[in-house]
C-alpha cells in the first residue's frame, strides 16, 4: 500500500511534472479531435439540410479552394456534393456555415431583397482584400452613399468617350498580334486589356513602370481574396496584404498630387477629388477613394476578362452564332467612314451581340460565389 507524506507526494508530482503535462495535453487534444471528428461526418440537423461541416473553422475550405484554384473550377466542389447530398447542401468555408441554394426562386428571394432579410457577408480574406470602406464591405447605410457617388462618373458621356478609346485599344492589340503571327492565350489577352482599360478609365495610368507595378500589386490582392486570413510570409493572404499596403501608398500619393493641382486628368479619380468642397455626404475621403479604386479594379477585371474568354470559346464552337454576329458587326462597319471607331451608339445597335453576351453569362458562371447572410430565420423552397 502506498503511504506518502505531504512532502513525499509533492516530490512525486515534481518528479513527474513533464509526464503530467503530456497526459493533460493528450486528453485535451484527444477530446478536441473526437469533437471535431463528430462534426466531420455527414450531418442532417434539425434544419433538414444535409452536408458536412468538417473541422472547426476550416470545415471544407481546402476542398473549396483546391477546386476553385484548379482548372475544374469551384463548380466541381458543388457538383460533387450535389451528387452526394442532392441539390441543397451545407458546408463550412472559412469559419462560416454556407448553404448552397439551388433554385432560381430561392436566388431571387435572396438577391432581390434590398438587404432587409439577407445582407452581404463576405469572408474575412475578401473583405480585407477590398478594404473596410469598399462598397463590398460597408454597412448598408454607408453603401447607398458610396455606391451613388461611385456611379456618378459612369455617365453616358464618359462611357461614350471610353467606348471609342476601348475600340482603338482592341484593334491596335489584335493588329499587333496578327502581324506577329504568334499564337496567344485568350485569357491572358483579355486579362491584360481589361486591366489596362479599367486603370486608364479610373486614373489615366497608361505607361510602365507604374502600370506594371499597380498590376502586380492588384494581382497579389486579387489572389488573396479567397485565402486563409493569417499573416504567414509566403502565403496568398500575406502577399495580398502587402500588395494592399503598396496600393494604399501609390493611390494615396496620386490623390495628393491631384489635390495639390500638380496633376490633372479627365478621369474617374479627378471627379472624386473635385468633390472636395461638397458637403460631407456628397464626397469620399481618401481611404474611401482608395478602397473603392481597388474594388473597381478587382470587381471589373476578372469578371469582364473571363466573360470575354468564354464568349470566344462558345462562339468558336458555334459557327452559326459566330457568322450571325460577324454579319451584324460588318453591317455597322459598312455604314461608317473608312477607319472610323466603333461608338456607344453602334453598340446599342448590336442586338444580336447583346444576346451573345447574355447567353455567355448564363452558360459560364463568371461570378462564382455570391454569399449572403440570413438576418433572421427564413423559409426558402419550403426549407427553414
Instruction: Kindly state the cell numbers that stand for 166.
Output: 476601348
Q: Quick one: 39 or 303, whose CB is closer to ligand HEM?
A: 303
One of 78, 101, 149, 198 touching ligand HEM (CB under 6 A) = 198
Residue 110 touches ligand HEM, criterion: CB under 6 A: no
Residue 367 touches ligand HEM, criterion: CB under 6 A: yes
Residues 36-75 that bind ligand HEM (CB under 6 A): none
**Count of CB atoms situated within 10 Å of the CB of 33:** 12
Closest CA to 228 of 217, 239, 236: 236
Q: Quick one: 43 or 303, whose CB is closer to ligand HEM?
A: 303
Count of residues engaged in binding ligand HEM, rule: CB under 6 A: 16
Q: Shortest gap between Cβ of 14 and ligand HEM (angstroms)? A: 60
Q: Quick one: 176 or 355, whose CB is closer to ligand HEM?
A: 355
Strand partners, 89: 100
One of 92, 133, 295, 342 touching ligand HEM (CB under 6 A) = 295
Q: Quick one: 110 or 321, whose CB is closer to ligand HEM?
A: 110
Query: Which residue's CB comes closest to ligand HEM?
Result: 300
Residues 142-181 that bind ligand HEM (CB under 6 A): 147
Residue 132 touches ligand HEM, criterion: CB under 6 A: no
| DSSP of 8-30 | HHHHHHHHTHHHHHHHHHHHHHH
Closest CA to 199 of 48, 95, 104, 304: 304
One of 63, 270, 303, 329 touching ligand HEM (CB under 6 A) = 303
Between the CA atoms of 241, 244, 245 and 251, what dihedral angle is there, to the nearest 10 degrees? 180
Pairing of strands 50-52, 43-44: antiparallel
Interacting stretch for ligand HEM, rule CB under 6 A, among 34-42, 173-181, 258-266, 296-304? 296-304
Q: Quick one: 53 or 94, whose CB is closer to ligand HEM?
A: 94
Closest CA to 272 of 296, 300, 242, 243: 296
Residues 5-24 that bind ligand HEM (CB under 6 A): none
Residue 197 touches ligand HEM, criterion: CB under 6 A: no
Instruction: Kindly state the cell numbers that stand for 193.
Output: 486589356
Cα–Cα distance for residue pair 231/240, rounded to 1 Å: 10
Q: Quick one: 198 or 380, whose CB is closer to ligand HEM?
A: 198
Q: Shortest gap between Cβ of 147 and ligand HEM (angstroms)? A: 4
Q: Quick one: 224 or 301, whose CB is closer to ligand HEM?
A: 301
Task: Write b or e for each residue in 306-326: b if 16 or more Cβ atoms lie within 10 A of its Cβ, otherwise e.
Answer: bbbbbbbebbeeeeeeeebbe
Q: Shortest gap between Cβ of 370 and ligand HEM (angstroms)? A: 5
Residue 118 in contact with residue 107, Cβ under 8 Å? no
Residue 189 in contact with residue 173, Cβ under 8 Å? yes
Which segments of the chain does DSSP mark as H helices, in order?
6-15, 17-40, 61-68, 75-85, 104-111, 124-130, 140-151, 156-180, 186-203, 210-223, 236-260, 268-273, 286-316, 319-334, 344-349, 351-363
One of 299, 325, 342, 356 touching ligand HEM (CB under 6 A) = 299
Residues 335-364 that bind ligand HEM (CB under 6 A): 361
Closest CA to 161 of 361, 4, 341, 338: 341
One of 293, 296, 311, 325 touching ligand HEM (CB under 6 A) = 296
Helix 286-316 vs helix 186-203: crossing angle, to nearest 10: 150
Interacting stretch for ligand HEM, rule CB under 6 A, among 3-11, 67-75, 181-189, 303-311? 303-311
Residue 370 touches ligand HEM, criterion: CB under 6 A: yes
Residues that bind ligand HEM (CB under 6 A): 120, 135-136, 147, 198, 295-296, 299-300, 303-304, 307, 361, 366-367, 370
Amino acid at each position: 500500500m502506498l503511504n506518502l507524506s505531504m512532502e513525499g507526494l509533492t516530490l512525486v508530482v515534481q518528479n513527474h511534472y513533464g509526464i503530467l503535462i503530456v497526459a493533460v495535453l493528450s486528453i485535451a487534444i484527444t477530446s478536441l479531435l473526437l469533437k471535431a471528428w463528430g462534426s466531420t461526418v455527414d450531418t442532417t440537423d434539425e434544419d433538414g439540410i444535409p452536408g458536412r461541416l468538417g473541422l472547426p473553422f476550416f470545415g471544407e475550405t481546402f476542398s473549396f479552394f483546391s477546386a476553385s484554384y484548379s482548372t475544374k473550377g469551384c463548380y466541381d466542389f458543388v457538383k460533387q456534393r450535389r451528387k452526394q447530398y442532392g441539390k441543397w447542401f451545407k458546408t463550412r468555408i472559412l469559419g462560416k456555415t454556407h448553404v448552397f441554394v439551388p433554385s432560381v426562386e430561392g436566388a431571387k428571394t435572396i438577391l432581390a431583397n434590398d438587404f432587409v432579410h439577407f445582407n452581404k457577408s463576405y469572408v474575412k480574406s475578401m473583405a480585407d482584400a477590398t478594404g473596410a470602406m469598399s462598397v463590398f464591405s460597408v454597412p448598408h447605410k454607408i453603401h447607398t452613399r458610396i455606391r451613388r457617388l461611385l456611379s456618378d462618373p459612369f455617365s453616358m458621356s464618359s462611357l461614350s468617350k471610353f467606348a471609342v478609346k476601348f475600340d482603338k485599344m482592341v484593334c491596335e492589340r489584335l493588329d499587333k498580334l496578327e502581324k506577329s503571327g504568334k499564337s496567344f492565350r485568350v485569357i491572358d489577352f483579355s486579362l491584360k486589356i481589361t486591366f489596362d482599360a479599367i486603370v486608364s478609365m479610373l486614373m489615366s495610368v497608361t505607361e510602365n513602370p507604374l502600370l506594371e507595378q499597380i498590376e502586380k500589386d492588384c494581382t497579389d490582392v486579387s489572389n488573396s481574396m479567397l485565402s486563409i486570413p493569417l499573416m504567414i510570409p509566403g502565403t496568398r493572404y500575406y502577399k495580398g496584404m502587402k500588395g494592399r499596403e503598396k496600393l494604399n501608398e501609390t493611390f494615396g500619393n496620386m490623390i495628393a498630387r491631384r489635390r495639390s493641382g500638380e496633376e490633372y486628368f479627365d478621369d474617374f479619380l479627378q471627379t472624386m477629388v473635385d468633390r472636395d468642397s461638397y458637403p460631407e455626404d456628397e464626397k469620399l475621403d481618401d481611404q474611401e477613394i482608395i478602397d473603392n479604386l481597388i474594388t473597381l479594379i478587382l470587381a471589373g477585371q476578372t469578371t469582364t476578362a473571363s466573360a470575354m474568354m468564354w464568349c470566344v470559346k462558345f462562339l468558336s464552337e458555334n459557327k452559326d452564332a459566330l457568322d450571325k454576329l460577324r454579319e451584324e458587326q460588318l453591317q455597322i462597319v459598312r455604314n461608317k467612314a473608312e477607319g472610323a471607331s466603333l461608338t456607344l451608339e453602334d453598340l446599342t445597335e448590336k442586338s444580336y451581340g447583346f444576346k451573345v453576351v447574355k447567353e455567355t453569362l448564363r452558360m459560364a458562371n463568371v461570378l462564382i460565389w455570391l454569399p449572403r447572410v440570413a438576418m433572421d430565420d427564413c423559409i426558402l423552397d419550403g426549407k427553414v
